[in-house]
Amino acid sequence: MQYSAAGMALVASSRGALDGGATPQALHAHPEGSVTTECDVLVVGGGAAGIMAAIQAGRAGAKTLLLERNSQLGGTTTTAGVSFPGLFDAWGKQIIAGIGWELVCETVALDGGTLPDFSQVPDRHWKNQVRVNPFLYALLAEEKCEQAGVRIAYYEFPQSTHKTADGWQVDCAGFGTRRRVLCKQIVDCTGGAEVVGLLNLPRLRDQETQPGSMLFKLDTAHNPGRPNGPGSGLLDSVYVHGADSSNSRTVTAANLNGRKSVLKQVRTAKKRLMHMQPEAGFRESYRILGDTVITVEDYQSGRVFEDAVCYAFYPVDLHTRSGVTPKPLARGTVPTIPLSALVPKNSQNIIVAGRCVSSDRLANSGLRVQASCMAMGQAAGAAAALAARQQTTVSEVAMEDIRDMLRQYKAIVPAV
């Protein structure tokens, strides 16, 4: 296992009521294309964790900016095409709800789909995955951000981060835009903890990373189907070995390799290529070194941490060059995620959420899935909003205040 403090090119995430919705005192335009945005909470990364963190912070009354380096929200669910977020249930009951579940349910309802019966315990974990229409999911995510007062900035990412008397100065870049963000709290939801890397805080990483996936669809005629309706079916996929989301160079390499593999499949199958996602999906890169490191023993035993803020549920699911053989959790076991695994060691005024959670590699292979990332994101958003309100750092916010806010917004909080 390696420790890295190297700052990586940062994945950014944001836009909701685009900058046109910003108040004059919060956004100042300059002739050369630079702007200054003042906010309470800056969320970087608009995937499963970042969407929920931003909406939760916004609903809690925090002025929130969401940065996203791509053109839409959703991350793995939308851009990478893994449009079956899970798992929200374990052993016959729902264990993850809140803002993420709200978004999933509204997406399925608008698409005319159906939800699984969580009272039934399937013989295979994937049978209770929820299929969502990724296009509707992205649209509804933007709508919910706007309703929560969250501003979104697409195509931007942080270049540097500096401490200030009140929190942070984050200098970001996008084409034609230079943005200076002055904020009290940062929520790093970039997947690889890129903001944490910019701050030279320690991160964990193994020399080998799990392969990514490039999703596509081959057919003899145009047959898109409906995600939860007749004719639905999973997209095809190919492994992208060595996939690494650490920086623009490694993401470029993964996308090029994935597309070569898809082209080979087209020539071999002699079918039409009907669909291909614009970007590979990544399973693993950097993880933070937090105040708590969740071990596979913690995960498989269902350890209930004193500062647990949410549940997680998925088999230990380590993908290798030869494939994957999931290791299901023992019946009745439901892991928890502590707030201290979301806080980088020796840090102030920054928290993470998503697959960069402080954990060992095997535990992370189960923790990284979308439903768990949604739950972590909502918890991080609540902690950041409360810290900004109380003018303190996230580790100093009373756990019961965080849990009360999560319950207020329908999250399921572990009984400690």
Domain end residue (candidates: 245, 276, 307): 276
Q: Which two tokens stand for residue 281?
A: 């999906």
- Whether residues 156 and 252 share a domain: the answer is no
- Residue 145: partners with Cβ closer than 8 Å, 6 or more residues away: 15, 16, 17, 51, 54, 55, 58, 66, 73, 152
The verdict on 90 and 64 lying in the same domain is yes
Give yes or no: residues 227 and 194 share one domain: no
- Boundary of a domain, candidates 251, 276, 301: 276
Q: At residue 96, does pLDDT exceed 80? A: yes
Q: And the tokens for 61?
A: 């009354």
Contact 92, 121 (CB under 8 A): yes
My answer on whether 178 and 155 are in the same domain is yes
Examine the pLDDT at 79 and tell me if it is beyond 90. Answer: no
- Segment 104-117 shows an average pLDDT of 94
Name the one residue in this structure whose structure tokens are 């939801």. Answer: 189
What share of the chain has pLDDT > 90, as a percent? Answer: 64
Whether residue 392 sits in one domain with residue 341: yes
Domain span at residue 91 reads 2-206+286-408
Each residue's pLDDT tens digit, 220-238 = 765 555 444 433 457 888 8
Bridge partners of 240? 212
Are 178 and 143 in the same domain?
yes
pLDDT tens digits, residue range 171-222?
999 989 999 999 999 999 999 999 999 999 988 877 777 777 778 888 876 5
301 vs 171, 255, 332, CA distance in Å?
42, 37, 10
Confidence of residue 389 (pLDDT cuts 50, 70, 90): very high
Residues 254 and 403 in one domain: no
Average pLDDT over residues 132-153: 96
CA dihedral defined by 125, 130, 131, 132, rounded to 10 degrees?
-150
pLDDT on residue 15: 33
Number of compact structural domains in the chain? 2
In the chain, the percentage of residues whose pLDDT exceeds 70 is 89
> Which amino acid appears at position 241 of this protein?
H
149 and 32 in one domain?
yes
Residue 264's SS3 state is helix
CATH at residue 317: 3.50.50.60
User: Cβ(197)–Cβ(176) under 8 Å?
Assistant: no
Indicate whether 230 belongs to any domain.
yes
Question: Are 175 and 242 contained in the same domain?
Answer: no
For 281-298, write each residue's pLDDT tens digit: 777 889 999 999 999 999
**Does 54 share its domain with 195?**
yes
- State whether 247 and 294 are in the same domain: no
Query: Average pLDDT for residues 333-358, to the nearest whole number?
Result: 97
Q: Specify whether the CB–CB gap between 338 and 312 falls below 8 A.
A: no
Whether residues 66 and 165 fall in one domain: yes
